[in-house]
Structure 1
């Protein structure tokens, strides 16, 4: 796979590789891709939680009731 980048981006990536943290420019780009994959998975996971919560409807409890129950579960009175 070949990727075209503007000179400014190419220089920046090469500078990142020269710091010693990455063995070369490809290693740096692979790290960026891995980070983006992790980020996308976290967003997908959070979206699933939001979707589940929205599908659960509206609670009959007040926020104070929910807080008190959470504190009891945590052993904080």
Structure 2
């Protein structure tokens, strides 16, 4: 694991310390790692949403569509 030092104003340091204590993190590093992971997931979700928004039109999602999915899953399980 690599070490990274960051500088924070006193108000942010106090906020981080409060979050560590109130939310059950063992250290401020655990809290920061969790924030970074959440940001990574948010960016991945945004990428997927943008890909979906810019993709072409698809077949309608209706009862027939879901029934065909159920059939495919049943057949794959056999």
**Superposition TM-score tier, normalisation by shorter sequence:** 0.5 to 0.7
Q: Cα RMSD (Å) of the superposition?
A: 2.3
Tell me, in whole angstroms, the C-alpha distance in 2 between the residues paired with 1:41 and 1:70.
Answer: 24
Secondary structure of residue in 2 paired with 1:19? helix
User: For residues 5-55 of structure 1, what are the alpha-carbon distances to aligned partners after superposition, in whole Å with 9 as ceiling and x for unaligned?
Assistant: 1111110001111125200111000000000000000000001111113xx
Which residue of structure 2 lines up, in the alignment, with residue 7 of structure 1? 10
Q: What number of residue pairs does the alignment pair up?
A: 63
Is 1:21 aligned to 2:2, yes or no? no
Provide TM-score, normalisation by structure 2: 0.67
Tell me, in whole angstroms, the C-alpha distance in 1 between the residues paired with 2:23 and 2:47.
Answer: 33
Which residue of structure 2 lines up, in the alignment, with residue 61 of structure 1? none
**Structure 1: runs of 5+ lacking an equivalent:** 57-65
